[in-house]
Amino acid sequence: MSHVFASLPATGGSQGLIGLWTRRAVLVLFAAIIVAALLNAFGQRSTTTTDAAPAATLSLEAPSRVRGGLFFQSLVDVVPRRAVERPRLVLADGWLEGMQVNSIEPAPSSESSRDGTTVLTWNALEAGRAMRVWFQFEVNPTNHGRRDYTLEFDDGDAPLARVKRTITVLP
């Protein structure tokens, strides 16, 4: 057996070992990045946050982390326990800061602002009648950091339910 190893070409001594370990280190680094991505370290996997308040249930399904240039969706479900004459979704500034809004379905009947927030209004809702709203976004590549992604469901100016969230934008 010793004659088999003796016939193998020399690796160049310590330089060959350095090259071998460098290649291995690079492969381990790439593997670590792939595993981190599979574990959602770089964003886009959605989570759901719900507030079951006495007047309404409000749920937000959205990613907690996104990357620059990424297209993503936020899904809002509202179920009022009583009739709501002026249903409104109040979006914290992080919903639109550095984001391109591609669509909101169903479209609100009106849009306004209140103390730095965006207020979207729909037609009256009956008690128990669910409203589902899809928001489609694209993240601006230069936008990074942590943003307030709080959502509130109001009847006019009276808050009925609130979901407190943040969204982290990775570069």
Residues 66/169, Cβ–Cβ less than 8 Å: yes
Q: Domains of the chain: which residue ranges?
A: 2-38, 46-170
pLDDT of 10 reads 52
Q: Rounded distance, CA 130 to CA 78, Å?
A: 6
Gap between the Cα atoms of 1 and 91, Å rounded? 73
**If you search the block for the tokens 């004659």, which residue do you land on?**
3
Bridge partners, residue 84, by sequence: 125
- Consecutive sets of 10 residues in the chain, 171 residues long: mean pLDDT of each? 52 71 88 78 80 96 90 96 96 93 96 93 95 96 91 96 94 79
Q: Which residues pair with 80 in a beta bridge?
A: 56
Predicted pLDDT of residue 68: 86
**139 strand-pairing partners:** 99
Counting runs of H as helices and runs of E as strands, what totals does the chain give? 2, 13
Q: Give dist(CA 94, CA 108) in Å, integer.
A: 19
Q: Distance (Å, rounded) from C-alpha 141 to C-alpha 51?
A: 32
Query: Over the stretch 34-79, which tens digit does the pLDDT of each residue have?
Result: 887 777 666 677 889 999 999 999 999 999 989 888 899 999 999 9
Core vs surface per residue 11-46: b (16+ CB within 10 A) or e: eeeeeeeeeeeeeeeeeeeeeeeeeeeeeeeebeee
Is residue 138 within 8 A of residue 98, CB to CB? The reply is no
Q: What is the pLDDT of residue 40?
A: 67
Domain 46-170 CATH assignment equals 3.40.50.2300: no
Q: Cα dist. 86→15, 21, 49 in Å? A: 74, 66, 23
Closest CA to 136 of 165, 77, 95, 91: 95
CA distance 79 to 136: 21
